[in-house]
Amino acid sequence: PKGFDCSGFTGYIFKQFGISLKASSSSQYTQGTPVVTDDLRPGDLVFFNGRRAGTSRVGHVGMVVDVDAEAGTFKFIHSAISSGITISDSSEPYYSRRYIGARRVIDESSLN
């Protein structure tokens, strides 16, 4: 659907699989378990600070769709009301400067 903000989009995606996420990107950052960049997998949530790079305040969330372990980068799908749903690369300067961390909210034991 058109007009998602970032956390609304991730919440919508996960709801389709029976997983409830909290409403805001900062509250989604408290869910699941932390994941180091070297261990990212598709489906993990990735978090970025807002327009002021260098702060630790969460301002944006996306979901990993592809990982390039050799390069240490990942592609993620995310949404903003102004630009819609897009896929970006973690190596893009805007995102590489603002990356805060990642969380895994998918219970892998339930996937078997």
Domain region containing 28 = 6-106
Domain presence at residue 72: yes
User: Is position 111 within any domain?
Assistant: no
Residue 110: predicted pLDDT: 55
Tell me the pLDDT tens digit for each residue of 86-101: 999 999 999 999 999 9
Q: What is the pLDDT of residues 61-78, one digit of tens each?
A: 999 999 999 999 999 999
Identify the CATH number of the domain in which residue 75 sits.
Answer: 3.90.1720.10
6 is catalytic: yes
The single residue of 60, 63, 74, 95 carrying the catalytic annotation is 60
More confident residue, 110 or 75: 75
Asked whether residue 43 is domain-assigned, the answer is: yes
- Whether residue 112 lies inside any domain: the answer is no
If one counts the domains in the chain, the total is 1
Q: Which of 6, 40, 67, 102 is catalytic?
A: 6
Taking only the tens place, the pLDDT of each residue in 29-50 is: 999 999 999 999 999 999 999 8
Residue 92 annotated to the active site = no
Q: What is the pLDDT of residue 53?
A: 58
- Active-site residue, selected from the candidate residues 78, 90, 102, 105: 78
pLDDT, tens digit, 9 for 90 and up, residues 11-22: 999 999 999 999
- Return the percentage of the chain with pLDDT > 90, whole number: 79
Domain assignment present for residue 1? The answer is no
Q: Is the Cβ–Cβ distance between 81 and 8 less than 8 Å?
A: no
Percentage, residues of the chain above pLDDT 70: 90
